[in-house]
């Protein structure tokens, strides 16, 4: 393939396609290994696969891909996780935890985390199987289209999902497609999907509306703006905090009439929790969000959460949330239900 010209095969990004997924398809369409394509773009000294390329792809790489595929630069840009800035988080960071972005914990060419998710039914029904940007969001514990649990590891061998390793150490003829486990060849698209379960129909509807809103333009998100997601993140952070000791979670379980399941308390952000745990914790946060003033007030009066935790490390708290929480500081004169 000639450098500086449009490559012979230049498939365009599919709807909501993740950058890494698109690069893999470009390499496959040109019948070359992914590493060969990477050397052409990065040179021999730099590999994109020992970093989180979907989160931290440099502008020059996006420009090169746009040039060689004949794709509009902004269409390439929208394959990256940076497009969630001002929607899920306010400022871009090249390292550290970003709110609601799953971490993959790269170690060399390997991933030690389970931050890459997939929906087996989406892969099964795709004419061309590919990975979506939404599958890197910690909020997507289930697929809203198929109402099944997401998958974050191979059910056969336990390997993390690493869709980019299909041709590593293999010839182009032996390369595994994205919908197969890179280690054992298990077919994600052929696996039996597990139905997602919810604490209540009200929470289910709010969860659906929330994750579906992330598929549309930012201006059409209505109540699901960055303020909504930042408050939900703060509530989930309190739910998993060591200092709260599960009190808020127990309170919510009592109100929902569900069984409280004690779990080991570890110092992890909500994004680092196991998929099933995260699915339940986000639902508890959404229950609070469904009637925030009344339910947070009730939790506070029940001593399930302390006032000072509600704003702890929350420098960019929305004004209406800050106003609500500040009322709790005047506890002698407060009627929390009003």
Instruction: For residue range 16-28, list pLDDT tens digits in order.
Output: 999 999 999 998 8
C-alpha dihedral, 25 to 26 to 31 to 35, nearest 10°: -90
SS3 state of residue 70: coil
Between CA 256 and CA 275 the distance in angstroms is 21
pLDDT above 80 for 336: no
**Structure confidence by residue, pLDDT tens digits, 269-328:** 999 999 999 999 999 999 999 999 999 999 999 999 998 999 999 999 999 999 999 888
Between CA 28 and CA 50 the distance in angstroms is 20
- % of the chain residues with pLDDT over 90: 67
Mean pLDDT of 152-164: 92
Distance of CA 34 to the CA centre of its chain: 24
Mean pLDDT of 252-269: 91
Average pLDDT, the chain: 88
- Between 30-34, 84-88, 259-263, the lowest mean confidence (pLDDT) is in 30-34
Alpha helix stretches (DSSP H) within the chain: 19-29, 34-42, 53-56, 59-69, 73-77, 120-125, 201-213, 226-240, 247-256, 275-290, 292-301, 307-310, 319-327
List the domain boundaries for the chain: 19-190, 201-327
pLDDT above 50 for 2: no
Between CA 108 and CA 188 the distance in angstroms is 25
pLDDT confidence of 260, banded at 50, 70, 90?
Answer: very high
SS3 state of residue 63: helix
User: 28 with 172: CB under 8 angstroms?
Assistant: no
pLDDT, position 216: 80
**Structure confidence by residue, pLDDT tens digits, 223-246:** 999 999 999 999 999 999 999 999
Sign, CA torsion 76/81/86/88: positive
SS3 state of residue 5: coil
pLDDT above 80 for 40: no
pLDDT above 70 for 1: no
Q: What are the structure tokens assigned to 89, written together? A: 């988080």
pLDDT confidence of 266, banded at 50, 70, 90?
Answer: confident
DSSP annotation string for 237-282: HHHH-TTTTTHHHHHHHHHHT---------S--GGGS-HHHHHHHH
Which of residues 161 and 107 earns the better pLDDT score? 161
């Amino acid at each position: 393939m000639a450098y500086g010209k449009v490559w012979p095969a230049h498939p365009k990004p599919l709807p909501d396609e993740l950058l890494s997924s698109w690069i893999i398809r470009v390499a496959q369409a040109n019948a070359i290994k992914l590493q060969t394509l990477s050397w052409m773009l990065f040179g021999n000294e730099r590999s994109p696969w020992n970093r989180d390329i979907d989160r931290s792809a440099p502008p020059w790489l996006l420009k090169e891909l746009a040039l060689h595929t004949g794709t509009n630069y902004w269409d390439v840009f929208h394959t990256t996780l940076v497009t969630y800035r001002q929607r899920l988080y306010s400022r871009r960071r090249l390292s550290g935890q970003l709110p609601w972005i799953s971490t993959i914990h790269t170690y060399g060419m390997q991933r030690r985390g389970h931050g890459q998710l997939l929906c087996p039914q989406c892969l099964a029904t795709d004419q061309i199987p590919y990975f979506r940007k939404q599958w890197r969001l910690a909020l997507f514990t289930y697929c809203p289209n198929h109402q099944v649990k997401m998958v974050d590891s191979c059910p056969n061998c336990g390997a993390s999902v690493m869709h980019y390793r299909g041709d590593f150490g293999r010839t182009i003829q032996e390369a595994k497609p994205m919908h197969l486990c890179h280690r054992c060849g298990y077919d994600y698209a052929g696996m039996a999907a597990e139905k997602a379960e919810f604490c209540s129909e009200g929470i289910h509807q709010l969860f659906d509306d929330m994750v579906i809103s992330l598929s549309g333009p930012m201006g059409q998100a209505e109540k699901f703006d960055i303020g909504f997601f930042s408050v939900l993140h703060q509530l989930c952070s309190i739910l998993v905090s060591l200092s709260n000791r599960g009190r808020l979670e127990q309170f919510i379980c009592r109100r929902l009439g569900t069984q409280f399941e004690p779990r080991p308390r570890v110092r992890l952000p909500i994004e680092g929790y196991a998929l099933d745990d995260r699915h339940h914790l986000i639902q508890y946060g959404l229950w609070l969000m469904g009637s925030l003033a009344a339910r947070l007030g009730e939790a506070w009066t029940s001593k399930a959460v302390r006032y000072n935790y509600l704003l702890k490390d929350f420098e960019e708290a929305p004004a209406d949330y800050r106003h609500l929480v500040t009322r709790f500081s005047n506890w002698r004169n407060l009627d929390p239900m009003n």
